[in-house]
Structure 1
Amino acid sequence: MKALVYTAPHKVEVQDVPVPEGRSGAAKIKMHYCGVCGTDIGIFAGKHPRATAPLVLGHEFVGTIEEIQDGSGRFAPGDRVVAYPLLSCGECLACRTGHPHVCKSLKLIGIDKDGGMADCAWVDEDVLFKVPDTMTDKIAALVEPLAVVVRSLHQARFDVLNSTVVTGAGPIGVLTAIVLKHSGASRIVISDVDQARLDVCKDLGLETVNVRDTNLVDYINETTNEEGVDIVFECSGAPSSAAEMTKLCRIGGTICMTGIHKEERPVDLRDMNFKEQLLIGSRVYTKQEFEMSVAYAQTIAEDLEKVVTQIVPLSESEGIFDMIADPAVNTVKVLVDCQA
């Protein structure tokens, strides 16, 4: 079968690889689409501490069940499914106390074992969720990153009519703004340095700030009578956002760390003391939040459609990371068509 294989830092290849062997309690899935995640970009760059070549990439996938070995009866061949890709140990403190999504040794499909950028894959039945008949494959491929956002709103204790700033208009930032829009936020400001991504946000009816041209802290102070917003969702992973996020947030407000910072960042802890702000982390999602996202995706499908900016055939995907890195291409969310 064909698969996109990470072979070395800055190198991926479309290869003919053996079809994985089936196992009891698993389903063989014919892959339709698989999304490219920021984690995949990190793997390609050789910066992911666990990913080891050769590795079939991809953990944001949708496909159709072709075969089941020793199944439970919950699924049947022909069912379209998405997969909860987290692999927990079941033994550490997090797992023992009901938080397996932040397992001490958390692993993921597509990082610690072969993923979904392939013709097919065998996936354990107990992590599969059926896709509604009315949902397109394109929308279903966004369920996993959407679950990241659902988790972050839960972590931030978002409430209707909260005012918000989203720093970073990458896929997670744009999805965060979309969910806030449909959840009743009174104001959503999204910032980035990439005007093409901000133009997508404008098309979604969002308030945008290009921080190449406008100081975000000054903008928020001017438009809030220097009070700040209720919740800041930091989705960029950029050092400038870490430095500014306490300035954007009001007294008693919340800062939710949705983006992953790969290095230590300076943060104004005095602001947090004097303004009694809450800083909270958000990593991935629970299995329940993933299931919620399957149903929720269909209700906001019209906006989700606008997030997918390119679909690349698997057969032509060796240059996909160079394409994403090219500012002239204007990508937000890129999918791989695994059957093309």
Structure 2
Amino acid sequence: MKAALYYGTHDVRIEQVPDPVRRPGEALLRILRSGMCGTDATEWKAGPHTFPVPGPHPRTGHSGPMILGHEFIGEVLEVDSGGRFAVGDIVASGAGVWCGECVRCREGRTNLCLNYYTLGLNTDGGMAEFVSCPERALVPVPTGLSLDLAGLSQPLAVGLHAARRSGVKDGESVVIIGAGAIGSFVLAGLKSLADIDLTVVDFAGARLDRALRLGANRVIAVDDETREAVLAAVGERGADRVVEASGAPGQLNNAISLVRTGGTILQVGLPSKEQSVDIHSLVMREITVRTTLAHVCGEDLEPALRILATTELGTELLDTDTAGGVLPLDRLAEQLERLATGTLEGKVLFDPSL
């Protein structure tokens, strides 16, 4: 089959590799859409960090070049008899695989499973014509939902999980720092959970325009008076909750300056380097800092598909500069470079059959 293999920094190759072998409890899928995300771009730009290259990965045992892709939609080709799916079903993958038995799984926090691994991050994934995926990590795609929109379900599930982690409630004021892809998905998650007053902060341009279309009450462009503008909008005491979704240097401290005493900060973005933090202000103002990782497949993936099937959210998040946002795999390297350099505004999807 045709597949996109990661070898190292700026080295992704489209090659012919053996078809995957389906194991019991897994479904063999023909990939219909596969997406890329910031992690892929980071590995492209400066990896490997997460990818097991050269390996081996402690849980999957994978070593060497790895097939990318942890956001994918597929058609079931083979499956266990009596399983949850039938041949021909169209499914979305959460890609993360959990054991169901460890202490974190028993708590329902399957994203923190002690034996967790992710297809496309820790072993071969869905940037290929076929992949074999554990059934538990699959959810049926609603009838009538387009493949392109369904291809956004995994990152939206990540946004929904982040929104739940924030603890947001009706009537609260929320500030999001960073209106890129993950910030947009968190925005959508927040709006789906609560009736809030939402302010989004980023550099002037298309990202802020999109945030308004996605439901932000206001947007504020970054300049020397950004903090004053935000506090003028939410009140001098600060916002009830601040979501730091940029990962840019110094932005956690910026979030601390924007949240009210006793408020909550949700750290979503991952800085590329270790950052200093104003612990004194955190302690003296009793600010809660939460973090978020991936998603809980059983709680987040199906609602993400439902949102995409019943709203116009997906059309705002697909990249409109790439002929509908669907490309062949041989365009992957150029799109990873666009994402890594910040010139890609929307999600791009790939169809390995092209």
TM-score (norm 1): 0.90
Judging changes above 3 Å, is the alpha-carbon distance between structure 1 residues 238 and 300 closer, same or farther for their aligned structure 2 residues? farther
1:333 match: secondary structure:
coil
Q: Which residue of 2 aligns with 1:125?
A: 135
The count of residues paired between Structure 1 and Structure 2 equals 337
1:6 partner letter: Y
Contact 1:71 1:125 in 2 (8 A): no
Letter in 1 for 2:220: V
SS of alignment partner, residue 115 of structure 1: coil
Secondary structure of 1:14's counterpart equals strand
Displacement of 1:254 after TM fit? 0.8
- Equivalences for 1:68-107 in 2 at 5 Å? 68=79, 70-88=80-98, 93-95=103-105, 97-104=107-114, 106-107=116-117
Superposition map of 1:327-338 within 5 A: 327=342, 329-338=343-352
Partner of 1:306: 316
| Cα displacement (A) at 1:183 | 3.4
Separation (CA, whole Å) in 2 of partners of 1:87 and 1:37: 18
Deviation at 1:299, TM superposition (A): 5.1
Indicate yes or no: 2:297 matched with 1:287: yes
What is the deviation of 1:66?
A: 1.6
Q: Which runs of 5+ in 1 are unaligned?
A: none
Aligned equivalents of 1:105, 1:183: Cα separation in 2: 30
Query: What residue is the counterpart of 1:24 in the other structure?
Result: 24
In 2, are the aligned partners of 1:33 and 1:335 still within 8 Å (CA)? yes
| Matched residue, 1:252 | 262
User: 1:194/1:122 Cα in 2 relative to 1: closer, same or farther (>3 Å)?
Assistant: farther
Counterpart-to-counterpart distance in 2, 1:287 and 1:201: 26
Q: Does 1:139 align with 2:140?
A: no
In structure 2, the CA distance between the partners of 1:187 and 1:47, relative to structure 1 (3 Å rule), is: farther
Instruction: Check if 1:162 corresponds to 2:172.
Output: yes
Q: Secondary structure at the match of 1:139?
A: helix
Give distance in 1, aligned partners of 2:280 and 2:211: 33
Q: Name the amino acid aligned to 1:23.
A: R
Q: Deviations over 1:228-265 (max 9, x none)?
A: 11111111111221121111111221111122234322
Structure 1 pair 98–178 and aligned structure 2 pair: CA distance change class (3 A):
closer
Please give the alpha-carbon distance, in whole angstroms, between the structure 1 residues aligned to 2:245 and 2:200: 10
The aligned runs of 1:1-340 (5 Å cut-off) are: 1-45=1-45, 46-52=47-53, 53-68=64-79, 70-88=80-98, 93-95=103-105, 97-104=107-114, 106-193=116-203, 195-206=205-216, 207-211=218-222, 213-298=223-308, 301-309=311-319, 310-327=325-342, 329-340=343-354
Is contact 2:169–2:196 with CA below 8 Å preserved after alignment? no
1:79 shift after superposition? 0.5
Asked if structure 1 preserves the Cα contact closer than 8 Å seen for 2:159 and 2:188, the reply is no
> How much identity, in percent, do the aligned residues show?
31
Instruction: Supply the distance in 2 between the matched residues of 1:97 and 1:18 (Cα, whole angstroms).
Output: 38
Amino acid at match of 2:170: V
* Partner AA of 1:337 in structure 2: D
Q: Which runs of 5+ in 2 are unaligned?
A: 54-63, 320-324
Secondary structure of the corresponding residue to residue 238 of structure 1:
coil
User: Which position in structure 1 is the counterpart of 2:322?
Assistant: none
- How far apart are residue 181 of structure 1 and its match? 3.0
Give the letter aligned to residue 13 of structure 1. R
C-alpha RMSD of the superposition: 2.2
Paired letter, 2:328: P
1:9 touches 1:43 (CA, 8 Å); kept in 2? Answer: yes
More off after superposition, 221-230 vs 317-326: 317-326
| CA separation of 1:226 and 1:163: change in aligned 2, threshold 3 A | same
SS of structure 2 residue aligned to 1:138: helix
